Structure formats: structure tokens, C-alpha cells
A and B are shown apart, each in its own frame.
Chain A
Amino acid sequence: MAEITLKDIRLSEYTLENLEGVGQLREEMLQAPVQICVERAWYITQYMKEHNREEMEAHPLLYRARAVYNYLSHKKPVIPDKNLLAGTTGAYLKTAPVYPEYIGLTIWSELDTISGRDKNPQLLTREDAEKLNFDIYPYWIDRDVLASTKKEYGNIMPVRLLEKMIFYVSGKAGCISHTVPDFKRVLAEGLESIIREADEKAVSAKPEEREFYQAVSLALKGLIRYAENLSREAQRQAMAETDRERREQLLKMAEVCSRVPAKPAGSFREAVNCIWLCLIGIHAENINMAISPGRLDQVLYPYYKRDMDSGKLTVKEALELTACLWIKTGDNVDLVPQVSEELFGGAGTAPAVTVGGIDEKGRDAVNDLTYIMLKVTELLKMREPNMNARYCAGVNSREYRNRVCEVIASTKAVPALYNDLENIKTLVNQGTMEEHARDYAVIGCVELACAGRSYDASSSIILNLAAALEMALYNGKRYVTGDEQFGPKTGEPSKMKDFDEFLEAFKTQTAWLIAQAVDLNEKMAAVHQRMLPTPLLSALFEGPMDKGRDLVFGGAVYNSSGATHVGFADVVDSLNAVKKLVFEDQYCTFEELLYAVRSDFEHRDTLLAYARNKPLKYGTWEESEKGCSRELIRFLYETYQGYTNYRGGKYRPAYWTMTNHSGQGKITHALPNGRRAHQPFASGITPVSEAASDLTECFRSVGALCSLYIPGGEALNIKFTAIRSREEAVLLGDFVEAYFRSGGQQVQFNIMSHEMLRDAKAHPEKYPGLLVRVSGYSAYFNDLNDSMKEELITRTEYGIQDGRMVPDYA
């Protein structure tokens, strides 16, 4: 527990202008074009091509480590701007690295067009395009995760469903990621200490464990080589530098990289740079999706405190170094093919930083660094890192709570808020030790991890619940795929006697779809184990070094797989609509309802109005008492928890959607709740737009879902028109606190009006860098596609002056 020594927790005297160079670094990073970088793909592929496939498959750990070593030790040391921290994810200021092991091949047909496309172009040089086309992609054509899975298991149903894109997304095709590493050990001891341990253990270990330790040792040495190369490069540039101040910065950088990450961090600056270099190392091995730095205000605090106490560091310097790290975390984005751009565009890589909350012993963990990180977030207003603030009512101070709300008011979007009481209870219920649960951090969007201890692969499955609903409506088929039979034949709804029979059919289809997604996840996991072990990431975790086992083999202290859901609110409302229209009111027959849904409610205005206005709506008290929401949450929880994954952990349901609610909505036909074809679904765990006119009722209905059944995390989006004063920020805090008391786990805000967002859509040039919350992470409004923009515009909006829903007159 730390004492707050800052006289002003708002740090009001600091601005973007008076922090050295930060404003310029921010501007440069925001303006920088995304450049596709093939360096990693080149060195990894080159190594693999030189070696015999059978041999590699027999010793995947060693070969993976050698490939990663090959890349890291050759990786070009680049110093692209005046950031105080050394190291870049790719060879440019802002890069999209290529991971051909995963979905990197999806841009193969776009090599000529990707640089010039209208929306979010990613620049590729002629030379690099040729490397991809002739040297890199041909090797992977039958070797990436999906191709390997198909080769091994054939074109099985779970694969067919994945390739249709309208049932579920399988995270494993695209990543080993979505996790929070442990930086405490590397900071305190340095990588050399971990290497020593690995080398010692390798001597006496059993053969399969020996390979793991050898792999760890080699991969970590690769990262040290990279740091050494950076150090030499900084030294070289310093010699040629005429500006005295800049030369000193470069010399300092050279000195830092000659020490970390090999040796223990001796200062706050070294600690911050060490974490950044480790993230680069992790991304050399694993794709840049939601590798989350975790509780940096806790991890970095001892180094901050020591330097402050000894007078080596000032608050201003701490702000500058933190800002440098924040800007660096946005130096990489995902490689995005056109089709993903249309459906899911605008996504960042969601590196989640978590601040505040309580410590392992249950004491207030908020410290000076927490406020420094909040201040940097407030000043930068950038998409990365994805900022999350934990709040433990009764332990954390009201000043802290209100300060977080002020930052939300001024960034209009971040941080997201997390309820310690519910989240810790939920993790303990999943078998986590209480003190480990108290040390939770957010992964990527909103998922919960015991930082550095649990490997949760939290985006293993993204399941479209509307797919299961449609299969219940169409006897195992989907509207858009016509006569193709997918799910079991659960019967023609028109012959069903009561609502329970339909609900059973829906549950059968849901359980079937989950079984397919889980089956595919397990099969792809086996491919990962054969191809893509993670010795470098494993070394930065608690568990693998003790067990002698890689993360993908279950090395972490805790294990789970996450499955998130798209379309929750629309499906709940649709179930309620079927119940009301067909069975309770007998307003129409099931056949008539289905006919209307099939024809997208064309010429069925009254039925459409009835379906939209009369049934119970998720987000209201009555629904949570008598509707289907709580039953569905519980059903999904019980279904997933029935599965144990390849690492011995349980599957955990979650409710966050990134931009998938817009993307999946676009390819899903009309639903019984009156949602028209191709419209976006409601996001995350959020009620359908304008279903909940009373904000407190909305909060209570989400809280009533019971957090124990949502172990994977949830994203609730709430939009307020404007917050204009500190007093209003306190009211925001009050709403959040009461919502947390009623059982809520998470909430995130957009502070913007219908009019302002419409104006931003019409005149993007007036709103450069407008930050918005999508579902779980932030995005720049201008990067989003039109459908996602519309979803944001039409979200329920409340006024903080009166608490009323603001009507959308457009």
C-alpha cells in the first residue's frame, strides 16, 4: 500500500506543451502511415525453409525458439523518432507486421491494392510485396494454422462453419495471444537470471522438459541480442549527432539497452524500456493481438518510488517516460485484408493497461503512478494503450473514483471501469486463489486475467448467438445459406405447442454450435502445440519455468479458454418477442412471424411495430424478472463450463464484441425482435438501442445477470451527451458505483451526442483523432466503417443533467 504524495492528483500544471517533445511524438505517431513490415516473416520463414519439416515437427519448441532467435538477432535496430524509449515493433515508425503462420496469407491477393485502398490503407513496398509473393507465402500455403488443421482433420463441419464466417470466429486461426505477461521477475532479476535458471534446469530435466528450457534460453538470448544491437545503433547515432541534448539522449538510450532486459532494471527509465523491449520480444514470437501489459502502476511502482526517493527522477520525467511508453504501444497495428476492413475495420491491437484497484492483500493499490498514468491518458487521448481502471468501493478513495471519471469526461472515452468486488468473486469462483484474483488485470478488451499467472486465450471463440437463433427458427438452417443443413433438425417452429419447446430448440442449436466451436478450438490447439509453442512468452509467466512446460501445453498456473458472444441483447429480445407474439398474445402464428422475418418485415409494418414495442426488452426490470436474459446467461455458462480445454482449464463465456456486432450484423438477416436485416446488433452486454429509457434500470438489469456466470468479462456501453463540470463527473461516478453495487462488472462510456457524431461522420476532417469506445476497446471514429459509425450514433444517449434518455430526432 502506497501513500499518495502528489499534492495535486490532477497534475494540473502539466500539459502536452510543457512535457518535453511529447506533443510532437503524439502528432507524429497519429500522422504516420501504416507500413507493412515483412522483416519478421522473412527471418522466421527463412529459418523454417532451411530445415526439414519432420525434424521440426518432432522438436517444435526448439525450432520455434531458433526461428524467433533468427529474427530477433537479425532484427534491424531502428530509432525512427525522438521517443525516449528504444525499440520498435517493426522496421518503421508504425508497422503492420506479417504473421504468415496465422492469417497473414489473407492479403496475398491484395498485394497490389492494399497500399492504395480508400479506407485505412497499409503501405507495402514493391520489393516487400515480391518477397511475400515469391519467398514467404508459397512456403506457408499449406502450413498456416487453418491449412494445417484442414490437412490434418479434413474439411470437417467445425471448419466449414468457420469459413462461412457467419457462425463463429475461431481465435486460434489468427493468434496465440490475449494474455497478460508477468514483468515483475524480468524487472527485478533480468533475462539473464531466467536464462541461468533455464540452463541449469535443462541439465537435469526430463527430455521434453529439457527442450522447453533450451528453447526458453535461446529465445531470450535473441531478445538480448536485439537490445544489444539497439544499444550499438544508439551509440553510433550519438557519435554522428551534433545537437548536444539529442546526443545525450542517444547515449542514455545506449546505456539503457546495454543493461535491460538482460540485467535487473536499475531505474524507472530502465524498467519502462525493459517492458517495452519485452513486448517487442513477445511480438517477435506471437501475433500483436491484445498482448496486454497489465497493472503497470503496480509493476513499475518500486522503480518509480526508488528514483523519486533518491531524487533521480521528477514527476515531469515520470510523465514523459510514461507518455513515451503509451505512444510506443501504438507503433503496431494488425495486418487487415479488405474483407476484414469492411466488416471489422478500425480495430487496434488492444494492449490493455490496468490501473488502480486493490493489491494482493486487499489494500488500496492506488499510488502516485496511478495518477501519473491517468494524467498521461488524459493528455494523449490515444487509442493505445487500452486503458482500464479498477475500482474497489470502500477501499479505493472517492477522490480516485472521481478522478477516473474526470479523465473519462475529458478524453470522452477512456478509461473503462472495472468492479473489483464482482470480478474478484468471479475469478475465485473459477478456482483462483483469492490473493491471485485480487491481482487481476484486463486482457485486450475486457477479459479478466490473473496477471502473469493465468493463460486465458480469451478470444478463442467469438460466437454469433443469432446464428443459433436462426437455426432454431429454420430447423437447423440459416437464412443466408438457403437450403444447406448445418445444425440438428429441431423441428418446424410452426408445429411447436408452447414457448418452452421453442426455447429448447434454441438451446439445442446453441449447444451444438458451441460444441463445434470448442471442437475446432481443441483441434487448432493441437496444431499450435505442434507448430507454434511460445517459449519466449512462457518465460515471462509464472508457472512454465516451474513445470518445465510451455504455455500452450498448460504451463501457466491457471488455464482457461474464452468464448465471447455477439448479438446477446438482440437474441434475448427475439426470444421474448416469440414468446409474446406467438404464444402469450397470439398476435400472430409462428408461421406468420417467420414469414415476416424472412421477408425482412417488408409490408409488415404493424407486425414490425408490435415486435419492437410490445415484448419485454432486455435492459428493463420486468425483463430481468420475467424475460429470457438471465436464463440464457446461465445456460451458456453451464454449457461452456462443461468443457475442459487442452491445457486442463475451463471454457469461460464472455460478452464483448469489438466491432463484430456491426460486422456479424451486416451478414445476418432480420430477427423476431424487429431488428432489420444487415443492421448492427447491440454491442457487448449492452441493451438494444433505446430499449432502456431509464439508466438506472439498464444498470440494474445488467447487474442482475450475475457476474459468476460471466467469468470471461463483459462490456457495457453507455453514452452521455456531455459532462461539463467536476460536479457532473461526480454524478457519473455515483452512477458507476451504484451499478457496481447492483452486481455490474464493467462499464465504458462515450461522452458525445447524436448530433456531434453525425457531424463527425459527415465532416471527418473536423474531428481528427476523435476517440470512441467500440465494445471493449477504443478506436478512432474516422477509421470505422459506416455501419459501425451508425451503430455508435444511434446508441441510447442519456443526459447527465437530468438522467433522461435523449431522443434521437434524426
Chain B
Amino acid sequence: MRRTPLIFDISMGRLEDGEGIRTVVFYKGCPLRCQWCHNPESHSFTHDFLWDRGKCLGCQGCARACPRGLITVDGAGLHLKRENCDACGRCSAACPGNALLLVGKAYSVEELLEILLRDRCFYQVSGGGVTFSGGEPLAWPAYVGETARGLRAEGIPVTVETGGYFEYEAFRKLVLPFVDCVLYDLKLMDEQEHIRYTGVSNRRILENFRRLAGQRPAVKLVPRTPLIPGITDRSENLEEIRRFLAGFTDPTDHVLLPYNSDGERKRALLAGRPGTAWS
């Protein structure tokens, strides 16, 4: 596994995902495979390519730019032999229409901090800060912790968005001391359902939540549930989540997130996973 994570987007001037005006860092890689995920390009821990057929001008610029000759574009679509690709990114840099995008970039902690500090005065004025999102940011406790520490030193509040599937001890030691708020997703209470729709059991997620809620000194903890029609938004599920939460937090803190349909469009762009043809 990589030592530094890949980041697939750093989005500035955001008003969602926490208080005030924020910069949101999206890490690549997630242990869950929620069927409704609106950021499918965040699943894999390695590079991905997005290809938008509608933007492709058929110029073969990507094919010419690839130093290993791994790309061909024809009537059927774009073909990329991923096994020999080292994600140098020349193909996507050469694509005039930005149809082919290399997703995932590594930054040193210093590089990332420099970027995150650019909007400092927007955070200060609005009570905003930085949000780590993903993917699963807590898959990278050392890196995320060091970045959060750097932000704390500058007086910038940090929020983490997590799916709850992470190593608690590493998180507690490396990240928690520098975090002001955790937005914690609770999706399905029934374990079998959870496995069915996200690919993993929810035991660890619920256990981590229990421990975090009992953590002293307390960190601001906001449980959230994305409302997926017919899956998570069923009343039994929501009721069960509320019962679970009643033991730890003020139930009114529970945030229900509307369904974000952007995943459908992006899944189409990711289409065939690397190595096969998009068409």
C-alpha cells in the first residue's frame, strides 16, 4: 500500500460539509462500497481515469502522449492497458477537451497545507475551516493527523467526514487531538442489510461510534444518515438509528442528508474499470 494517500479533489469556497466557508479535501480509497455512492472515483486507493465520451474530440492526443503506447481510441471507445500504466498523467494533460482525466494526486503534507492555508481569511471571517472527506480519510491516520496538526497550529478548525470503518486506536492517537468535529455516517442498522448494500459489516462502525461518543474530553460528534430511497430511508431503519443514538448523543443532532444523484453520471464516466475499453 502507498505511504501517502491520493487526493482526488480539493474544493474551495464550499458552504456544505461543516460550518462557514470551507475547503474540502477528498481522499481516494474507501473500505466501503455503498451502492449509491456519489463519489465512485473515490473507491480505489490507486489512480483512476474518468473518460467523458461527449467531450472527446477523437484527436488521438492521449494516444500520442502516452510514452508506453498503452492507449488507443477508436469507434468503440478509449482503450487503456492499465497493467503497465504508471499514471504519469501525460495523456490527460494532452487531452484538449479535458475528456480524459487522471484522478488522484499525491501531495506532501507541506504542499497540502500550503494549499489549505490559501483561504485562511475566508475561514476566519466565516468561522469556517477545512473538512477531510473522501473516500475514507481515516484510512490515512498518520497523514491526516499530521495535516490536521498543522492546521490546528494555524488556528484553523478541522472537520472529518467518516464512514466509521477505521482503526480506532490509530485515529485516537494521531488524528483526534487535532480535530474539532467529526461528521459520522450511520447508514443501516441491520448487519445483513449493511453487508448487502455497502460490502462490509457495520459492527466495527457502531463500535467506533460508541467509543468516540464516550471519548473524554468530548469531540463534537454529528451522526448523519444519507437518505437513500427504499434503502436507508425506511422508517424501521431510521427508528433503529435513533434508538442507537439515544444512548450517546442528543437525538436532535442527527442529520439526514438528501440523496445525491451525481453518482450515476460519474459511474458512467468510470464505466469499465481500467484495463478494459470504455464504450
CB <8 Å contact, B126 and A731: yes
Please indicate the chain B residues that have their CB under 8 angstroms from the CB of A614 in the complex. Answer: 93, 96
CB <8 Å contact, A697 and B125: no
In B208-242, the 8 Å CB interface with A consists of: none
Q: Among B32-40, B69-77, B114-122, B198-206, which stretch is in contact with chain A?
A: B114-122
From A613, A738, A801, give the contact of B96 (CB < 8 A). Answer: A613
CB <8 Å contact, B12 and A694: yes
CB <8 Å contact, A738 and B121: yes
CB <8 Å contact, A696 and B15: no
In A598-644, the 8 Å CB interface with B consists of: 605-607, 609-610, 613-614, 621
Bound complex: CA of A741 vs CA of B20, how far in Å?
16
Please indicate the chain A residues that have their CB under 8 angstroms from the CB of B14 in the complex. Answer: 802-804
From A609, A697, A742, give the contact of B13 (CB < 8 A). Answer: A697
Please indicate the chain A residues that have their CB under 8 angstroms from the CB of B119 in the complex. Answer: 696, 700, 738
* B59 touches A (CB below 8 Å): yes
From A699, A737, A802, give the contact of B16 (CB < 8 A). Answer: A802
In B46-72, the 8 Å CB interface with A consists of: 57, 59, 61
Bound complex: CA of A613 vs CA of B13, how far in Å?
22
From A613, A621, A738, give the contact of B124 (CB < 8 A). Answer: A738
Min CB–CB distance B156 → chain A (angstroms): 13
B109-133 contact mask (Cβ, 8 Å, vs A): 1 or 0: 0000000001101101110000000
Please indicate the chain A residues that have their CB under 8 angstroms from the CB of B59 in the complex. Answer: 606
Please indicate the chain A residues that have their CB under 8 angstroms from the CB of B61 in the complex. Answer: 606
* A735 touches B (CB below 8 Å): yes
B16-46 contact mask (Cβ, 8 Å, vs A): 1 or 0: 1000110000000000000000000000000
Please indicate the chain B residues that have their CB under 8 angstroms from the CB of A621 in the complex. Answer: 118
Please indicate the chain A residues that have their CB under 8 angstroms from the CB of B118 in the complex. Answer: 621, 696-697, 700
A800 to B, closest residue via Cβ: B15
CB <8 Å contact, B125 and A610: no
Min CB–CB distance B115 → chain A (angstroms): 8
Min CB–CB distance B18 → chain A (angstroms): 12
Bound complex: CA of A800 vs CA of B15, how far in Å?
7
* B249 touches A (CB below 8 Å): no
A677-707 contact mask (Cβ, 8 Å, vs B): 1 or 0: 0000000000000000011110110000000
Min CB–CB distance A597 → chain B (angstroms): 16
In A431-486, the 8 Å CB interface with B consists of: none
Interface size class of A (residues with CB under 8 A): 20 to 34
CB <8 Å contact, A607 and B96: yes
* A734 touches B (CB below 8 Å): yes
CB <8 Å contact, B97 and A694: no
From B15, B57, B98, B124, give the contact of A606 (CB < 8 A). Answer: B57
Bound complex: CA of A299 vs CA of B15, how far in Å?
40
Knowing A605-B57, A697-B13, A803-B14, say if A741 contacts B125 (CB, 8 Å). Answer: yes
Min CB–CB distance B223 → chain A (angstroms): 21
Bound complex: CA of A537 vs CA of B97, how far in Å?
56
CB <8 Å contact, A696 and B12: yes
A288-308 contact mask (Cβ, 8 Å, vs B): 1 or 0: 000000000000000000000
Most B CB contacts (10 A, CB to CB) among A614, A696, A731, A798 go to A696
Most A CB contacts (10 A, CB to CB) among B21, B96, B124 go to B96
Min CB–CB distance B51 → chain A (angstroms): 15
CB <8 Å contact, A731 and B96: no
Please indicate the chain A residues that have their CB under 8 angstroms from the CB of B12 in the complex. Answer: 694-697
Min CB–CB distance B214 → chain A (angstroms): 33
* B11 touches A (CB below 8 Å): yes
CB <8 Å contact, A801 and B97: no
Please indicate the chain B residues that have their CB under 8 angstroms from the CB of A613 in the complex. Answer: 96-98
CB <8 Å contact, B15 and A801: yes
CB <8 Å contact, A735 and B121: no
Min CB–CB distance A135 → chain B (angstroms): 61
Please indicate the chain A residues that have their CB under 8 angstroms from the CB of B11 in the complex. Answer: 694, 804
Please indicate the chain A residues that have their CB under 8 angstroms from the CB of B126 in the complex. Answer: 731, 734-735, 738
Please indicate the chain A residues that have their CB under 8 angstroms from the CB of B20 in the complex. Answer: 734
CB <8 Å contact, A803 and B15: yes
CB <8 Å contact, A609 and B122: no
From B21, B93, B96, B124, give the contact of A735 (CB < 8 A). Answer: B21
B80-100 contact mask (Cβ, 8 Å, vs A): 1 or 0: 000000000000010011100
B15 to A, closest residue via Cβ: A803
B119 to A, closest residue via Cβ: A696
CB <8 Å contact, A738 and B97: no
Please indicate the chain A residues that have their CB under 8 angstroms from the CB of B57 in the complex. Answer: 605-606, 609
CB <8 Å contact, A696 and B96: no
Min CB–CB distance B129 → chain A (angstroms): 13
Please indicate the chain A residues that have their CB under 8 angstroms from the CB of B93 in the complex. Answer: 614
CB <8 Å contact, A734 and B125: yes
Please indicate the chain B residues that have their CB under 8 angstroms from the CB of A742 in the complex. Answer: 121
CB <8 Å contact, A738 and B125: yes
Bound complex: CA of A695 vs CA of B14, how far in Å?
9
Bound complex: CA of A699 vs CA of B21, how far in Å?
13
Bound complex: CA of A801 vs CA of B16, how far in Å?
7
From A607, A694, A699, A731, give the contact of B15 (CB < 8 A). Answer: A731
Min CB–CB distance A223 → chain B (angstroms): 47
CB <8 Å contact, A610 and B96: yes
B115 to A, closest residue via Cβ: A621
Min CB–CB distance B126 → chain A (angstroms): 4
Min CB–CB distance B113 → chain A (angstroms): 15
Min CB–CB distance B92 → chain A (angstroms): 11
Bound complex: CA of A609 vs CA of B124, how far in Å?
38
In A719-740, the 8 Å CB interface with B consists of: 731, 734-735, 737-738
Knowing A802-B16, A804-B14, say if A606 contacts B21 (CB, 8 Å). Answer: no
Most A CB contacts (10 A, CB to CB) among B11, B12, B93, B124 go to B12
CB <8 Å contact, B13 and A606: no
Knowing A606-B57, A696-B13, A697-B13, say if A735 contacts B122 (CB, 8 Å). Answer: yes
Most B CB contacts (10 A, CB to CB) among A610, A621, A697 go to A610
Min CB–CB distance A398 → chain B (angstroms): 10
Bound complex: CA of A696 vs CA of B125, how far in Å?
12
Min CB–CB distance B160 → chain A (angstroms): 19
Min CB–CB distance A248 → chain B (angstroms): 51
In B242-272, the 8 Å CB interface with A consists of: none
Please indicate the chain B residues that have their CB under 8 angstroms from the CB of A741 in the complex. Answer: 121, 124-125
Min CB–CB distance A17 → chain B (angstroms): 36
Bound complex: CA of A798 vs CA of B21, how far in Å?
14
Min CB–CB distance A7 → chain B (angstroms): 28
Bound complex: CA of A803 vs CA of B121, how far in Å?
16
Please indicate the chain A residues that have their CB under 8 angstroms from the CB of B122 in the complex. Answer: 696, 699, 734-735, 738
Bound complex: CA of A609 vs CA of B61, how far in Å?
12
Please indicate the chain A residues that have their CB under 8 angstroms from the CB of B21 in the complex. Answer: 696, 731, 734-735, 738, 803
Please indicate the chain B residues that have their CB under 8 angstroms from the CB of A606 in the complex. Answer: 57, 59, 61, 96-97
Bound complex: CA of A695 vs CA of B13, how far in Å?
6
Please indicate the chain B residues that have their CB under 8 angstroms from the CB of A696 in the complex. Answer: 12-13, 21, 118-119, 122
Bound complex: CA of A737 vs CA of B14, how far in Å?
16
A609 to B, closest residue via Cβ: B96
Bound complex: CA of A694 vs CA of B125, how far in Å?
17
Please indicate the chain B residues that have their CB under 8 angstroms from the CB of A607 in the complex. Answer: 96
Binding site for A on B (CB under 8 A): 11-16, 20-21, 57, 59, 61, 93, 96-98, 118-119, 121-122, 124-126
Q: Pull 12 A–B residue pairs with CB atoms less than 8 Å apart, ordered by A.
A: A606-B96, A613-B96, A613-B97, A695-B13, A696-B119, A700-B118, A737-B125, A738-B21, A738-B119, A801-B15, A802-B14, A803-B21
What 10 A-B pairs have minimum CB-CB distances, sorted nearest first?
A696-B13, A610-B96, A609-B96, A734-B126, A738-B122, A741-B121, A695-B13, A694-B12, A803-B15, A738-B125
Binding site for B on A (CB under 8 A): 605-607, 609-610, 613-614, 621, 694-697, 699-700, 731, 734-735, 737-738, 741-742, 798, 800-804
17 further A-B pairs in the complex, CB-CB below 8 A; given A613-B96, A696-B12 = A606-B96, A609-B96, A609-B97, A695-B12, A696-B13, A697-B13, A699-B122, A700-B119, A734-B21, A734-B122, A734-B125, A734-B126, A735-B122, A737-B125, A738-B122, A741-B121, A803-B14
